[in-house]
Amino acid sequence: MEFTSKKLKHAFFNEPKKILVCNHCVPFLDGLWLHFILNIEKISHFIYVGHCFWYENSWIRPIRSPHFIEKETHFLSLQRRCCCVIFPSGGKIKWKSGFFYLAKNTKIPLYIARLNYSNKKIEILERISLADDFQDVKSHIITTLRKGSRTLWWMYIFKWFGYGDESNF
């Protein structure tokens, strides 16, 4: 795991609860990668994954409607410490607003995380404060994720099949 500053790293490790908003290509596989890294760092975590064949364990939280936000708001209020990872597009190209409302309802801070496929690293780029408008937060996160990253050729193949993330293209 890499951080853009020591101050950010300090805040990240001292924050009892946090939500990582992360770019992705294939959420389940990227979730496995993140799970491996967060385990190495000894960070208590779970990863929201849509379309995960109804599989659930200690680190996978399936995104199931209806009332996802209400259920997860309650679940997060019961946690003492947690790091939640969410892929905003849920596996498709266009982003959904669930991460925004989850953070807003729980008042848990958002961190922007980038899976850097070319360097095989996870980068924590920024801690953001929520604005009142989902579109403003979304644009800020996408702009931040696109800075300093490049789209690899194989990502276009995933895009052709409808997988990926707006921040990758």
What does the pLDDT profile of the chain (169 residues) look like in tens digits? 899 999 999 999 999 999 999 877 666 677 788 888 888 888 888 777 766 555 556 777 777 767 888 988 998 999 999 999 888 865 566 788 888 999 999 999 999 998 877 777 889 999 998 877 899 998 898 888 878 766 565 566 666 666 656 555 4
DSSP 108-135: PPEEEEEEETTTTEEEEEEEE---S-HH
- Paired residues of 17 in beta bridges: 82
Tokens 């939500």 sit on residue: 19
Q: Is 89 exposed, middle or buried (0-12, 13-18, 19+ CB in 10 A)?
A: buried
> What is the domain extent for residue 83?
2-168
- For the chain, how many structural domains are there in total? 1
